[in-house]
Each structure stands twice: as structure tokens, then as C-alpha cells.
Structure 1
Amino acid sequence: MDKRKTMANFIRIVENGSLSSAAEATGQSVASLVRSLAALERHLGVRLLNRSTRRMALTVEGEEYLAWSQRMLADVDDMEQRLEARDGIVRGVLRLTAPVEFGQRYVAPVLNGFLKEHEEASAELTLSDEILPLLDEHLDLALRIGHLRDSTMIARRIGGTRLVTCASPDYLRASPVIDNPGSLREHACILLSSQGRHWYYRHNGKELAESITPRLVCNQVRAATLACLQGLGITRLMHYQVADELAEGRLIRVLESFEPAVLPIHLVYPHALQLSPRVRAFVDWACPQLEKRTPDPRVRRL
């Protein structure tokens, strides 16, 4: 049992008032917090919280353990911060996650530059299109695309993106005009399996859903992009995934007036934990660079 983590989880449960609120605030699952609390109570041999379906309350032992845990963790964090920052050198392991394609294109180069600048630091970069819970996975930071749920996470916005519909010039020259989402029924479409069988658009404040019968379904962005470049059909991807191809004219953007709203891109990290010097250093290093590197979907590059 990780005593420090279980103590911190206990504090978060009490501070947030419920298991579900604590789970949302910390990025963990409710089941994980239940297991953590149960393990702590077994280890101590006492009940810390009386829980029912509607409320929970600290026991006498729980009140004492809460006050002691808060003092202990505060002292440990304070000492670690002072020791780690004693000489101004960034050191330790930085653990972060990002979506696969965005991570390969933008996060990895920035992280590599950071490690070259800080020779005593190391990093673990996990690229996954799943939303990994930071605390459950022992992660320091995450890059998230899309609107964030309310939580106690700190979020630094570094840009935005949106879904864009595009095709190769050769395909468009040989195919019927595409002037509204309904026109897609006359075209070969290339789908990502994660998108389902509907493409969603917005026009004059209304959401439009177009059912797609695909010619090709891919589970990877680069396979869908290649099929589109080779003239197989029309695809719909995040702008940053095809920004270079659009800028070079190898793909043409269509249905721009029907595109959905911009999705924000954030770098997020736990709010409840005091930032270590290495995390603070990376945030200060990475945010300006990611802001510059992330292509703006509202701007056409010539």
C-alpha cells in the first residue's frame, strides 16, 4: 500500500464531501478511491468515515487522522520542494500524457528540447487517445483536447483545433460539387473508427448530423490521411492532423461554413498538489512553444 497516496486520497475525499466529487476533482475513478479508503482503514484497524448512500461523516478517529495527515503531507511536500530546488537545477522524472497524433507532432519535440536544456531531468511520455486519470497513473501533466469538466485541475490553454472536412485536389476535380453536408451522400468517405457513422456540423446556430456510408474505415489517423491524399475519398480529421497537407495544397478544405466550433487544447495538472520545480519548469517552457507550434484552424496558411 502506498501510504502517502492513501493519506492524500483520504484528505481529498473529506475536502470534496463525497467519493464522486473527489474522483472528478482528482482525475481518479470512484472505484479506485473506494479501494484506497478501504485499504487505509484495514491498515489502521479503525473506521475513518461513516458512509451511507446520502452522506458521510468523519468518525472521532477520522478527525484525528485527518488533522495528522494534513500536517504530515504538508511537511513532506515542503521538505521535498526545498531539497529539489536547493540549487536551481531541474531534476527528477517528469511524467506526462498526450493524444497520440498531437503528442508525436507537437509535444514530443517540445519535451525533447526541455530534456536537452535540463540534463539532470528525465521523462516518461505516454501517448494515448484514452483520457488517462493523472493520479491513478502517477502522471504530472496531461495535454487534453476538448472542453474540460469542472474540476480542481489547473488548465493552461495553449491553442485550439476543430474537425475539418477535406479531400485531395484530384478527387475534387473528378467528383460532384460539395456545397453542404448532404452532398456527402454522393461521395466516397473515409472514416476513423472512433468517429462512429455520423459527421456533425453546425450552420446558422443549428447542429446538423449527416449519416455516412464509408468506403474505407481506419483506426489510425495517418492511414486515413494517406487514403485521402491518394484520392480515395473525403475524410474528416482534426485540423492539426492535416494542417501541413492543407497549407501545402495537397488537401483542400471543404464545407468550411459548416464546421463545428473550435475545441480548446489545454495542458492540465493537479491543482491540489504543490507543483514540483520540474513540473513548474516544464509548464513555463512548454506553454509558449506549444502556443506557437499549434496551428490555428481559423487562419489559412499560404
Structure 2
Amino acid sequence: MQIADHGSLTKAADVLGSSLPAVVRSLAALEAHLGVRLFHRTTRRISLTSEGRTYLQSAREVLAAADAADRALTVDAAEPTGRLIVTAPVLFGHMYVSPAIVRFLQRYEKMRCSVLLHDRPVNLLEEGVDVGIRISALEDSSLVAQQLGSIRRVVVASPEYLLRHGRPKHPRDLLKANCVHIHPTTTGPWRFRDEGRPIAVSTEGNLEFNHIAPAVEACAAGMGFGSFFSYQVLPHVTRKRLEIVLEEFEPPPRPVSVIYPHARLLPARTRVFVEWMKQEFAGIRL
């Protein structure tokens, strides 16, 4: 384009901040790629061929469209519009994600959100979901993950239960205790680390739920020990209805991430939402 505008390879090189040989090589490579000659060249002048004029016009239209798209995205980034479908685990979504989305919509009133809370892995691509909040390491290479924080897997019991039965000093002590289970999450062995080595303890108990909230309440009522994510019991721990035990044996924390499909040109509404969630979760104790 600079060659056509200035009618000179030398002037085009000056404008582009390049060398004359580099400009000549680039032009030759473009003509070879297109299979046509774009310029008539003599020792005294250079001018567009008819194919060159057609190509130049098309190139100007493409650049103009790209510039318009850039401006539209800049405006959209300042005031994003459209619909986002967001998924998150049920309790975590209720406690943290949904309130953050409410604040997001209060800030960006032109946006719409559909929130899907599931305690199962959601395939974003197959189920048409834009953004997910996930509590685990990312295994799908077709997705991008930005970490929001991390959560612990903790064992808890009520102060009354600990007073009656004693505080465990090692995970093996749970073999003699009553443990509340959640099917299927904690019906298998409970996982710990002892001096850096993973260990598993097959706990037993007389009470099992298929939802987290009643299991937490049962532990707070003195039914026994429970294994939960830290955010699930945080309100009860804060109110001293539950106490965390065996902290030195906890497995490594799990990442909490906002995930979305790979995309060279991510919609502005998704980019703004991801940044919003990162700010919302900054400093939150999970």
C-alpha cells in the first residue's frame, strides 16, 4: 500500500522504517503468493497493474473493516453487550459466583447472563457455555483457565463431638470415629498427606447424604467428622459451630479458576467478565 501511495520503493521503505531490499523481497513474495504482477516496474518509475489496482482496493476495504471492528470492540469493552452463559458448582455458585454476577449486571446494564449451577463437569463447548467456574486442575487443552484462588479439603467436627470423643492426632484416628459421608463425593477413602506422602483412610459412618448442605449441618449438630471444601464450612467455622482438625495432613489445595474456550478473538463481554471475576475474588478467603 505504501508503494502505491508514494509511487516509489525507496520512499515506501523510508515510511515503513525498513530497508529497500526488504521491501523488494516482500513485494516479490506477495506477487509470488498471488501469482500475479502487482506493479509495472522500470528503472525510472513504478505503477500499479490492473490486478494491482483491484488488490489494493480490496486491501483498503479489509483494513477499513478491521479498523471499524477495532473501534466497535473498544466501545463494547467499555460497555459490553450481549448474553453470557455461565456455569459453576451449586454451593460455590450460590455463595460466591451468583453475588458477583449480580454486581456485574448492576455495573453493565446492557449485559444478560444465564447462570447454570451444576455439581457435575460441564463441557463448555458441547453445551454452549461461555464461561465456567471450576474447582479442579484444568485437563482440557481446548480451554483457557485463569486462577481465581484455591480451596482446601478439610476435615471438621463440632466442638461438642470433639469434647466427647477427642481430637484426632492422625488421619488413622478417624477409623474409630463416626464420619458423615456425601454420596458419591466422600464415600470412598478420604485423602491426606503424611510427611509429603499421599495416604488414604477408609472411613465409616451411619449417615450419608447426596447434598453437601445437610451433611455440613449434621456435622455441626454433633454427628461426627465430615470432609468438605473449606468454603463449604467457612460460615460454620467462623461461628464456631465447627472446628477444623488434622490441618497438617491436608492434601494440596485445589485451584479455583475461571475457564473459557480458546479463541484468537475473545468477545469483549467475555474478556470484561473474566477480569470482573478476577477482581471480585481478589482477597476473598475460600
TM-score under structure 2 length normalisation:
0.72
Question: How far apart, CA to CA, are the structure 1 residues paired with 2:169 and 2:135?
Answer: 28
User: Does the CA-based 8 Å contact 1:176-1:186 persist in structure 2?
Assistant: no
Q: Flag the 1:281–1:237 CA change in 2: closer, same or farther, 3 A.
A: same
Question: How far apart, CA to CA, are the structure 1 residues paired with 2:243 and 2:66?
Answer: 52
2:188 pairs with 184, 188, 197, which one? 197
**SS of equivalent residue, structure 2 residue 139:** coil
Q: Flag the 1:199–1:83 CA change in 2: closer, same or farther, 3 A.
A: same
The C-alpha deviation readout for 1:149-190, integer Å capped at 9, x for no partner, is 151422111100121000000111011341111111221110
The C-alpha deviation readout for 1:180-211, integer Å capped at 9, x for no partner, is 11111221110111223311111111111111
- Structure-to-structure mapping, 1:263-282, within 5 angstroms: 263-282=254-273
- Structure-to-structure mapping, 1:21-100, within 5 angstroms: 83=72, 86=75, 88-100=78-90
- Amino acid paired to 1:145: I
- Structure-to-structure mapping, 1:123-202, within 5 angstroms: 123-149=113-139, 151-194=141-184, 195-202=186-193
Q: Flag the 1:82–1:196 CA change in 2: closer, same or farther, 3 A.
A: farther
User: Does the CA-based 8 Å contact 2:192-2:198 persist in structure 1?
Assistant: yes
The C-alpha deviation readout for 1:234-272, integer Å capped at 9, x for no partner, is 101001111122122211111111110111111111123
**SS of equivalent residue, structure 1 residue 123:** strand
- The answer to whether residue 237 in structure 2 is matched with residue 246 in structure 1 is yes
Deviates further, 271-280 or 208-217: 271-280
Question: How far apart, CA to CA, are the structure 2 residues paired with 1:78 and 1:151?
Answer: 32
User: Does the CA-based 8 Å contact 1:106-1:293 persist in structure 2?
Assistant: no
User: Does the CA-based 8 Å contact 1:184-1:212 persist in structure 2?
Assistant: yes
Q: Flag the 1:97–1:77 CA change in 2: closer, same or farther, 3 A.
A: farther
**SS of equivalent residue, structure 1 residue 212:** coil
Which stretches in structure 1 are left out of the alignment for 5+ residues?
1-75, 296-302
User: Does the CA-based 8 Å contact 1:198-1:210 persist in structure 2?
Assistant: yes
In percent, how many aligned pairs have the same letter?
A: 34
- The answer to whether residue 227 in structure 2 is matched with residue 224 in structure 1 is no
Shift of 1:136: 1.0
The structure that has the greater radius of gyration is: 2
The C-alpha deviation readout for 1:84-118, integer Å capped at 9, x for no partner, is 65464221111111111111111000000000111
Q: What is residue 55 of structure 2 aligned with on the other side?
A: none
- Amino acid paired to 1:115: L
Deviates further, 206-215 or 85-94: 85-94
Question: How far apart, CA to CA, are the structure 1 residues paired with 2:262 and 2:141?
Answer: 9
- The answer to whether residue 104 in structure 2 is matched with residue 114 in structure 1 is yes
**SS of equivalent residue, structure 2 residue 96:** helix
**SS of equivalent residue, structure 1 residue 275:** coil
The C-alpha deviation readout for 1:52-95, integer Å capped at 9, x for no partner, is xxxxxxxxxxxxxxxxxxxxxxxx99987765654642211111
What RMSD over aligned residues (CA atoms) do the two structures have, in Å?
2.1
Which stretches in structure 2 are left out of the alignment for 5+ residues?
1-64
TM-score under structure 1 length normalisation:
0.68
**SS of equivalent residue, structure 2 residue 200:** strand
Shift of 1:294: 4.1
Question: How far apart, CA to CA, are the structure 1 residues paired with 2:242 and 2:254?
Answer: 22
Question: How far apart, CA to CA, are the structure 2 residues paired with 1:77 and 1:171?
Answer: 66
- The answer to whether residue 206 in structure 2 is matched with residue 215 in structure 1 is yes
Q: Flag the 1:200–1:79 CA change in 2: closer, same or farther, 3 A.
A: farther
Question: How far apart, CA to CA, are the structure 2 residues paired with 1:83 and 1:224?
Answer: 50
Question: How far apart, CA to CA, are the structure 2 residues paired with 1:275 and 1:89?
Answer: 15
Equivalent pairs counted in the alignment come to 220
Question: How far apart, CA to CA, are the structure 2 residues paired with 1:253 and 1:77?
Answer: 56
